[in-house]
């Protein structure tokens, strides 16, 4: 049936990894997905002064921030992101979902577009922010 109340943000997580063996990103502080559609303009002299559009390109981007863990052996550490996604320029599978298996999920293959490490003021937490672009169709389903 799925979640029947407002979803607590703590329950909405990002999972990354090889398709079928994704791992929840540990110590995530926020995650987002943005799905877009860019209609193509077909305005002509026959449009009576009104813009007209037809369907166009669809796409999606996503991002997440999490606390830095220095252990390179941790599941999807900063080292893994850099090596697999930046150095090797390969895709990784991403899933956005809640802890309720009946809720909607968004998933697909992504290319990592940026990795940012931030070390703020003294005695504060080091964070990592990643952003990525989906390639191909996004599967949207209730699992």
Distance CA(7)–CA(127), nearest Å, equals 25
pLDDT on residue 74: 64
Query: Across residues 56-65, what is the average pLDDT?
Result: 96
Could you read off the pLDDT of 100-123 as tens digits, one per residue?
777 889 999 999 998 898 998 889
Residues 6+ apart with CB under 8 A from 117: 68, 78, 126, 127, 128
43: its two tokens: 């305005």
The answer on pLDDT for 77 being more than 80 is no
pLDDT on residue 73: 65
Q: pTM for the full model?
A: 0.83
Could you read off the pLDDT of 7-58 as tens digits, one per residue?
888 888 898 888 888 888 888 899 999 999 999 999 999 999 999 999 999 9
Distance CA(79)–CA(59), nearest Å, equals 27
What SS3 class is residue 84? helix
What structural domains and CATH numbers belong to the chain? 11-142 (2.30.110)
Q: How sure is the predictor about 75, in pLDDT bands with cuts at 50, 70 and 90?
A: low
pLDDT on residue 62: 95
């Amino acid at each position: 049936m799925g979640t029947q109340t407002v979803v607590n943000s703590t329950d909405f997580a990002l999972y990354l990894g090889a398709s079928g063996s994704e791992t929840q990103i540990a110590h995530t502080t926020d995650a987002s997905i943005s799905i877009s559609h860019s209609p193509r303009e077909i305005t002509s002299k026959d449009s009576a002064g009104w813009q007209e559009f037809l369907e166009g390109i669809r796409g999606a981007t996503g991002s997440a921030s999490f606390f830095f863990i220095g252990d390179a052996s941790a599941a999807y550490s900063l080292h893994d992101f850099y090596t697999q996604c930046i150095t090797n320029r390969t895709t990784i599978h991403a899933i956005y979902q809640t802890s309720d298996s009946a809720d909607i999920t968004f998933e697909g293959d992504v290319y990592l577009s940026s990795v940012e490490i931030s070390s703020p003021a003294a005695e504060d937490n080091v964070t990592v922010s990643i952003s990525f672009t989906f390639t191909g169709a996004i599967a949207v389903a209730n699992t």
